[in-house]
């Protein structure tokens, strides 16, 4: 038998008994609520009945006073009759479930109306100066006939309602007592029933659960398991699953051992590849550095000898002038000296200067990858302020407006970070559109936690080996430099950060490695840089830098 069926059987019997007990409790509660409502209603009727007579007696006293002093103003009290009518209406609503009391309230209302009519006639007679003799008989008594009849009906109503209140109070007490007994019986019966159910469940299923628990503990500790449980219920099925899981775990452990060995071999292989890449990068940098130095010496020689040739040409030109050669020979020598040779020397000097510039650029790129950074918290706001101050002349010449937003600090090398913003702001100034006022904005976006790039060199503030393949997680900051300049065509966006790539070369001078250096510096800080631009609308360069030391996982 399945556990679900056993559970239904174990639950059905106590649930049926509990439902019966709950029915008794609910019936007792309903009777108690109804009795309490009746008792409360009786007390409200008594209170309302006792409050009806007072305004009527006060009005009767005012009528007597009006008769005595002959002033109708004491009698004309319309609000009193309205108040009495409202009180009687409320009282009639309260006794609506008792026809006998309703009839009494209606007779009381008739007596009030009769007395009101009489008071109105007395007031009319006093205003007209007529005799009030017809009313003298009534006024000679302790109270008018109508009020006396009203008082008798009211007393009868109060007596009857007091009797009903006593009966209802007694019924309420009896009902509450029954409710308490029913509630106690329901609670005790429920506890006994469920206790018996729990005992039966423990006897029936407890042993099987103990075996299942023991097998689960053995599975968790890796020990051999006992024989599977018999039966077709859920406990037996769970025990079967535990045995299958144990067998699969043993297979998985064997596979894990094999995979671990393979992983260690791949890790060693990756470490070797990583070391080879690091060595190759270092060799490339040293190659660039060495080649640049080796090329500089011949270039210096070329530059020096070209100057010597220029001086020799000048001296030769002086000798030719002093020789007073015939006109044809003089013109031919002058054309050779001042034309061909001088133009060739100018091309040579220009080529030497360009080659020297390229060598300097290569050296700067090489040094950017070999410099030891001083890692610390850098005030980006101060670095940008220094850059803007240094570029004030160019900014003024371009009639540009530079806006610097709040810039949170970053983690890195102060000089390198200042060089990044110097290059970006200088580019923004140089490539402004002359046809409209220049606008440059430097700011920062909201922080985010991202995976940083592997850092290329060790530092006191970073952990892990250079070029580590273990991903770094840190809180990053995104800064931006936005301008409304010439912009970059879509075809050139992918080449923006390559070395020796120059766009708008006729507008600003340069060797084309500034943005390549920016990318190299930012990547060494574990960040990234990109640009969003539209030709003719301006460009926005984004720089992501760590806000705190990189944590390697």
For the chain, percent of residues with pLDDT exceeding 90: 16
Residues 505 and 425 in one domain: yes
Q: Is 142 found in the same domain as 86?
A: yes
> Are residue 326 and residue 391 in the same domain, yes or no?
no
Which pLDDT band holds residue 370 (cuts at 50, 70, 90)? low
The pLDDT-based confidence of 522 (bands split at 50, 70, 90) is very high
Residue 6: name the closest of 157, 205, 240 by CA.
205
- Dihedral sign, Cα of residue 449, residue 454, residue 457, residue 463: positive
**438-444 and 400-404 as β-strands: parallel, antiparallel, unpaired?**
parallel
Average pLDDT over residues 114-137: 73
- What per-residue confidence (pLDDT) applies to 360? 62
- Tens of pLDDT, residue by residue over 44-63, are 787 777 777 777 777 777 77
Residue 195 lies in a domain: no
Of 146-150, 331-335, 540-544, least confident by mean pLDDT is 331-335
Q: Mean of the pLDDT values across residues 177-184?
A: 78
pLDDT tens for each residue of 13-42: 667 776 776 777 777 677 777 777 776 877
> What is the C-alpha R_g of the chain?
55
Give the integer Cα–Cα distance in Å for 363 and 290: 9
Q: Is residue 206 assigned to a domain?
A: no
HSE (side-chain half, CA atoms, 13 Å) at 469: 12
- Encoded tokens for 232: 């077709």
Residue 400 lies in a domain: yes
3-state secondary structure of 553: coil
- Mean pLDDT across 356-361: 62
**Residue 314 placed within a domain:** yes
Residue ending a domain, choose from 302, 332, 361: 361
The answer, yes or no, to whether residue 140 has pLDDT greater than 60, is no
Higher pLDDT, 544 or 552: 544
Domain end, chosen from 180, 198, 214, is at 180
Residues 498 and 423 in one domain: yes
If we measure between CA atoms, which residue out of 414, 395, 420 comes closest to residue 522? 420
Q: Are residues 173 and 312 in the same domain?
A: no
| 310 & 394 share domain | no
CATH code at 452? Answer: 3.30.565.10
Whether 357 and 403 map to the same domain: the answer is no
The answer to whether residues 344 and 465 belong to one domain is: no
At residue 439, what are phi and psi to the nearest 5 degrees?
Answer: -130, 125
Closest alpha carbon to 353 in 311, 296, 288: 296
**pLDDT over 50 (residue 465):** no
More confident residue, 394 or 467: 394
Tens digits of residue pLDDT in 244-266: 888 888 888 889 889 999 999 99
Task: With cut-offs at 50, 70 and 90, classify the pLDDT of residue 242.
Answer: confident
Tell me, yes or no, if the pTM score tops 0.75.
no
Give the domain CATH number at 48.
1.20.120
More confidently predicted of 388 and 469? 388
Distance CA 350, CA 79 (A): 117
List all residues 6 or more positions away from 380 whose beta carbon is below 8 Å from its beta carbon: 407, 408, 409, 410, 417, 421, 444, 479, 545
Task: Clarify whether residues 385 and 529 are in a common domain.
Answer: yes
Where in the sequence is the domain holding 476, given as residue range(s)? 371-552
Asked if residue 199 is part of any domain, the answer here is: no
CA distance 384 to 403: 11
So what's the pLDDT on residue 420? 94
Q: Is residue 301 part of a domain?
A: yes
Write the DSSP symbol of residue 336. Answer: I
Q: Give the burial class of 104: count Cβ atoms within 10 A of its Cβ; 0-12 exposed, 13-18 middle, 19 or more buried.
A: buried
Residue 334 belongs to some domain of the structure:
yes
Per the model's pLDDT, the better-predicted residue between 140 and 379 turns out to be 379
The b-or-e profile of 226-256 (16+ CB within 10 A means b, else e) is: eeebeeebebbebbeebbeebeeeeeeeeee
Please state the domain count of the chain. 3
Domain boundary among 303, 335, 361: 361
| 318 and 446 both lie in a single domain | no
Work out the burial of residue 330: count CB atoms within 10 Å of its CB; fewer than 13 is exposed, 13-18 middle, 19 or more buried: middle
Label the pairing between strands 410-412 and 376-378: antiparallel
Kindly state whether residue 430 falls inside one of the protein's structural domains. yes
Same domain, 384 and 520: yes
Nearest alpha-carbon partner for 513 in 352, 282, 288: 288
With a pLDDT cut of 70, the percent of the chain lying above it is 75
Q: What does the longest C-alpha to C-alpha distance in the chain come to? A: 173
Looking up tokens 């010496």 gives: 297
pLDDT at position 460, please? Answer: 35
């Amino acid at each position: 038998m399945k556990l679900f069926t056993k559970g239904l059987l174990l639950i059905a019997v106590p649930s049926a008994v509990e439902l019966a007990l709950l029915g008794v409790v609910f019936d007792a509660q309903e009777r108690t609520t109804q009795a309490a409502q009746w008792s409360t209603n009786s007390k409200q009727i008594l209170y309302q009945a006792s409050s009806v007579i007072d305004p009527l007696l006060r009005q009767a006293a005012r009528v007597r006073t009006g008769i005595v002093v002959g002033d109708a103003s004491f009698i004309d009290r319309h609000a009193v009759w309205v108040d009495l009518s409202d009180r009687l209406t409320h009282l009639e609503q309260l006794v609506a479930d008792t026809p006998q009391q309703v009839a009494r309230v209606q007779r009381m209302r008739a007596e009030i109306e009769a007395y009101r009519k009489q008071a109105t006639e007395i007031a009319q007679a006093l205003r007209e100066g007529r005799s009030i003799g017809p009313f003298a008989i009534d006024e000679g008594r302790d109270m008018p006939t109508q009020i006396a009849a009203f008082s008798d009906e009211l007393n009868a109503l109060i007596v009857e309602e007091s009797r009903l209140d006593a009966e209802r109070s007694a019924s309420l007490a009896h009902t509450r007592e029954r409710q308490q007994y029913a509630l106690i019986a329901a609670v005790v019966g429920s506890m006994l029933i469920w206790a018996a159910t729990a005992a039966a469940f423990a006897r029936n299923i407890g042993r099987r659960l103990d075996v299942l628990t023991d097998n689960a503990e053995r599975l968790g500790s890796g020990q051999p398991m006992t024989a599977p449980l018999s039966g077709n219920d859920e406990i037996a099925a769970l025990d079967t699953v535990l045995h299958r899981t144990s067998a699969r775990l043993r297979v998985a452990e064997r596979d894990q051992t094999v995979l671990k060995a393979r992983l260690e071999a791949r890790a060693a292989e990756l470490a070797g590849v990583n070391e080879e890449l690091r060595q190759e990068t270092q060799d490339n940098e040293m190659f660039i550095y060495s080649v640049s130095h080796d090329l500089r010496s011949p270039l210096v020689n070329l530059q020096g000898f070209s100057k010597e040739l220029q001086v020799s040409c000048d001296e030769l030109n002086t000798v030719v002038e002093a020789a007073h050669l015939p006109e044809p020979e003089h013109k031919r020598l002058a054309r050779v000296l001042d034309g061909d040779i001088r133009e060739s020397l100018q091309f040579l000097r220009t080529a030497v200067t360009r080659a020297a510039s390229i060598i300097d650029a290569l050296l700067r790129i090489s040094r950017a990858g070999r410099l030891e950074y001083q890692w610390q918290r850098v005030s980006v706001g101060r670095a940008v302020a220094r850059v803007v101050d240094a570029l004030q002349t160019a900014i003024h010449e371009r009639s540009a407006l530079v806006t610097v937003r709040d810039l949170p600090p970053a983690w890195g090398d102060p000089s390198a970070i200042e060089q990044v913003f110097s290059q970006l702001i200088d580019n923004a100034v140089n490539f402004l559109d002359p046809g409209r006022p220049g606008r440059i904005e430097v700011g920062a976006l909201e922080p985010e936690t991202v995976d940083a790039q592997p850092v290329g060199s060790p530092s006191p503030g970073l952990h892990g080996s250079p070029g580590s393949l273990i991903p770094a997680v840190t809180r990053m900051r995104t800064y931006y430099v936005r301008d409304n300049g010439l912009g970059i065509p879509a075809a050139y966006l992918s080449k923006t950060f390559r070395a020796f790539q120059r766009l708008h070369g006729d507008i600003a001078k340069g060797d084309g490695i500034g943005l390549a250096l920016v990318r190299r510096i930012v990547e060494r800080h574990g960040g990234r840089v990109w640009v969003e631009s539209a030709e003719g609308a301006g460009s926005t360069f984004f720089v992501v830098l760590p806000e705190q030391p990189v944590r390697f996982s």
